Amino acid sequence: EVQLVESGGGLVQPGGSLRLSCAASGFTFSSYWMSWVRQAPGKGLEWVANIKQDGSEKYYVDSVKGRFTISRDNAKNSLYLQMNSLRAEDTAVYYCARKGQLTGEYYFDYWGQGTLVTVSS
Amino acid sequence: SYELTQPPSVSVSPGQTARITCSGDALPKQYAYWYQQKPGQAPVLVIYKDSERPSGIPERFSGSSSGTTVTLTISGVQAEDEADYYCQSADSSGTYDVVFGGGTKLTVL
């Protein structure tokens, strides 16, 4: 059974940093692109970042470029999101998600339950 | 990047057919995907590649595409189908920039 379990969320002051983790199990983690998707309270879904299987390619939504860094450790079956210079508008539930298996198509076939990040003084 | 536009809300009575649309200029060139999200839960993929249904998704969920609009159809709506639905597409030319629609709240009257 595929499982994605996020951790690391919490309350942080504006300008602060936080590192999210996602522990993957039930599939060959190193074979899949992985992503972070967020959802502000009461709002819709927003894609944040993607990372290729070997970490050689990373893509970000414009609003987090230069502030967030996606990374992975295939030996630990783990995905990470380092978030720096946090802003109030980064407040959201952050989901770890696996790219679906269709070649050339980007969509999400499995999601974690999410971890809440609150940026507030 | 581009946008995907969904109606904010759709309401239907149990047993009726619900249709949720998603419009975007890139949709003739890119596949669309649909997710169902119930309160306090993670999204679940219900349609992929415009009209394919993942295993475990009830047959009453179907998808279609015409020009710049894709449609999620739920036939014989049940109370348990009340949820938010999101369409999604992605630039498949290499960067894989992902875009979500704003979401549609389906209310079962």
Q: Does A115 touch chain B (CB under 8 A)?
A: no
Interface test with A, best of B47, B87, B95, B96 (most A CBs within 10 A): B96
pLDDT of B1 > 70? The answer is: no
pLDDT of B107 > 90? The answer is: yes
Q: Where are the beta strands (DSSP E) in B1-109?
A: 9-12, 18-23, 33-37, 44-47, 61-66, 69-74, 83-90, 98-100, 104-108
pLDDT of amino acid B27: 92
Helix, strand, coil % over all residues of chain A, rounded to 5 = 10, 50, 40
**Pairwise CA distance, residues B57 & A119, whole Å:** 36
Longest dimension (CA), chain B: 43
Query: Which residues partner with A119 through β-bridges?
Result: A12
Residue with tokens 């504006």: A14
Give the mean pLDDT of A12-16.
98
Q: Does B98 touch chain A (CB under 8 A)?
A: yes
Position B96 confidence tier, pLDDT thresholds 50, 70, 90? confident
pLDDT of amino acid A23: 98
Q: Which of A47, A95, A105 sits opposite B31 (nearest CB)?
A: A105
CA-nearest of A73, A79, A57 to B96 is A57
A75-113 per-position pLDDT tens digit: 999 999 999 999 999 999 999 999 998 888 899 999 999
